Chains A and B, each alone.
Chain A
């Protein structure tokens, strides 16, 4: 057990977002957190990271370091890609030289060219920026990773590449991850387990294990599981919410 959320609840201006929510993250486990738009997925994540304090319940952390990848890259515009990737290490007091070495190594892993390391974020493409954000999170050697819909803004091809990158590094470095997404197919591709947050402040609606290891599932398996689950009543809210928003 790396992380346990115990009976947490939160409200904005008196309106409850969710209540009595329990969630655990085991060693090396990747959990995808799904839910309709506006149900508080990001709030759960922010509570887990410690960016906001829950109104009820407790967060138990049994790890050394965590890192987060946001929906937007959130790179510091006044730092080069190299310094941005080393930023998390700087925050924990690693020396400059070691930070730079780690930055170079991680940049290579996520597919950033060494030439791009001296560029400022404004000179990089959107995909490059998100790669740098992933590298920044990986650079701190986290035990737990938090992802907040990180690949929604990148194109389909790159999305797949970045998903594979997450699957591969999670398997290799054995970090646990909580991956917030609204895309069922993405969740089925990368996670061991999937939990759905209710849109009516009821907490978690369901928790399902996904067969096989992430990365070992074929596209056909993923497609068929998504097909089957989209007809499942437990997931209905997910698609209702989408329709409601479109209407």
Chain B
């Protein structure tokens, strides 16, 4: 019986989630309309129309080389994302607990943030050569500070009154971390993680393009050399689709699951 109720709740949530996609799709179609207008003004060579791009994209997907390239890029950005999130969040949370660590780490993060990703690509190219490693390193270095800031702010702004309440009941550090700090931290981490995920895709493609190490970035370099503008646009659309999928298939459902309590407080009409 509880399993049945759980299934019903899941179906309801899926329905609401899919329904909320309409608004997103409408926004995307507005963008497509502006794109079409630009195309009609500048012509196919400068800006291919959305339809031409879609045709190029469907041709691209059918090529076996694209699947390999996409897998390469996906692996690199996923590894980079995972490393950036783990290191960044961990170090940020630690810094949030210790003011000394915070004072030490903040300027370091500012420096890392100040170095343009393109400079990291050059460095990574020298250190790792023309391999996937340079793309991964660039992603980690470029995306880590955001997770760091999220972890830091989340822990530093935890509710000390709730922590005192938990201590008055004799809750252990571990229980307090799980029940008081983490749920609060999550609301800071999700915006940071979605930004990190977006950065991971972008920076991977950039690093691949510059270091000539295959993947979608490599395909993009080839398309540029051939002046195949529809193919360039198709590749861009593909990367954006991957980034959107990461956010709306992976991260948002996870957030909904973890932050159900927040939805409970919203008035009718604001809920999605």
A binds B: yes
Q: Which of A74, A76, A123 contacts B183 (CB 8 A)?
A: A76
CA distance A68 to B171 in the complex (A): 13
A101 at the interface (CB under 8 A from B): no
**Complex interface: chain A residues within 8 A of B265 (CB):** 120, 122-123
Task: Tell whether A74 pairs with B165 under 8 Å between CB atoms, given A87-B179, A91-B170, A91-B171.
Answer: yes
Q: Which of A72, A91, A119 contacts B169 (CB 8 A)?
A: A91
Q: Which of B161, B166, B261 contacts A91 (CB 8 A)?
A: B166
What are the interface flags for A58-72 relative to B under an 8 Å C-beta threshold, 1 for contact and 0 otherwise? 000000011110101
**Complex interface: chain A residues within 8 A of B223 (CB):** none
Q: Are A51 and B179 in contact (CB under 8 A)?
A: no
Q: Are B261 and A78 in contact (CB under 8 A)?
A: yes
Interface residues of B, dominant DSSP: helix
- How many chain A residues sit at the interface, stated as a range, is 20 to 34
Task: Tell whether A76 pairs with B179 under 8 Å between CB atoms, given A88-B169, A91-B170, A122-B261.
Answer: yes
CA distance A236 to B167 in the complex (A): 36
Q: Are B261 and A79 in contact (CB under 8 A)?
A: yes
Q: Are A49 and B168 in contact (CB under 8 A)?
A: yes
CA distance A50 to B169 in the complex (A): 10
CA distance A125 to B262 in the complex (A): 16
Among A49, A87, A88, A91, the one with the most B-chain Cβ atoms within 10 Å of its Cβ is A91
Q: Tell me the residues in window 59-114 of chain A with beta carbons closer than 8 Å to chain B beta carbons.
A: 65-68, 70, 72, 74, 76-79, 87-88, 90-92
Residue of A nearest to B186 (CB): A78
Please count how many residues in chain B sit with their CB below 8 Å of the partner chain's CB atoms: 19
A197 at the interface (CB under 8 A from B): no
A31 at the interface (CB under 8 A from B): no
**Complex interface: chain B residues within 8 A of A92 (CB):** 169-170
Q: Are B169 and A120 in contact (CB under 8 A)?
A: no
A140 at the interface (CB under 8 A from B): yes
B1 at the interface (CB under 8 A from A): no
Q: Are B161 and A120 in contact (CB under 8 A)?
A: no
Q: Are B172 and A74 in contact (CB under 8 A)?
A: no
Q: Are A79 and B168 in contact (CB under 8 A)?
A: no
Q: Are A70 and B165 in contact (CB under 8 A)?
A: yes
What are the interface flags for B20-44 relative to A under an 8 Å C-beta threshold, 1 for contact and 0 otherwise? 0000000000000000000000000
What are the interface flags for B69-81 relative to A under an 8 Å C-beta threshold, 1 for contact and 0 otherwise? 0000000000000
CA distance A78 to B184 in the complex (A): 9
Among B162, B167, B169, the one with the most A-chain Cβ atoms within 10 Å of its Cβ is B169
Q: Are B168 and A76 in contact (CB under 8 A)?
A: no
Q: Which of A50, A70, A120 contacts B261 (CB 8 A)?
A: A120
**Complex interface: chain A residues within 8 A of B162 (CB):** 74, 76
What are the interface flags for B166-209 relative to A under an 8 Å C-beta threshold, 1 for contact and 0 otherwise? 11111110010001100100000000000000000000000000
A65 CB, min distance to chain B CBs, angstroms:
8
Pick the 9 closest A-B CB pairs, nearest first. Answer: A122-B265, A91-B171, A88-B169, A78-B183, A74-B165, A68-B168, A91-B169, A120-B264, A78-B261
Give me the interface of A with B, judged by CB distance under 8 Å: 49-51, 65-68, 70, 72, 74, 76-79, 87-88, 90-92, 119-120, 122-123, 140, 146
User: Could you pull out 17 A-B pairs where Cβ atoms are within 8 angstroms?
Assistant: A67-B168, A67-B169, A70-B165, A74-B162, A76-B180, A77-B261, A78-B183, A78-B259, A78-B261, A87-B169, A87-B179, A90-B175, A91-B166, A91-B172, A92-B169, A122-B261, A122-B265
Give me the interface of B with A, judged by CB distance under 8 Å: 161-162, 164-172, 175, 179-180, 183, 259, 261, 264-265
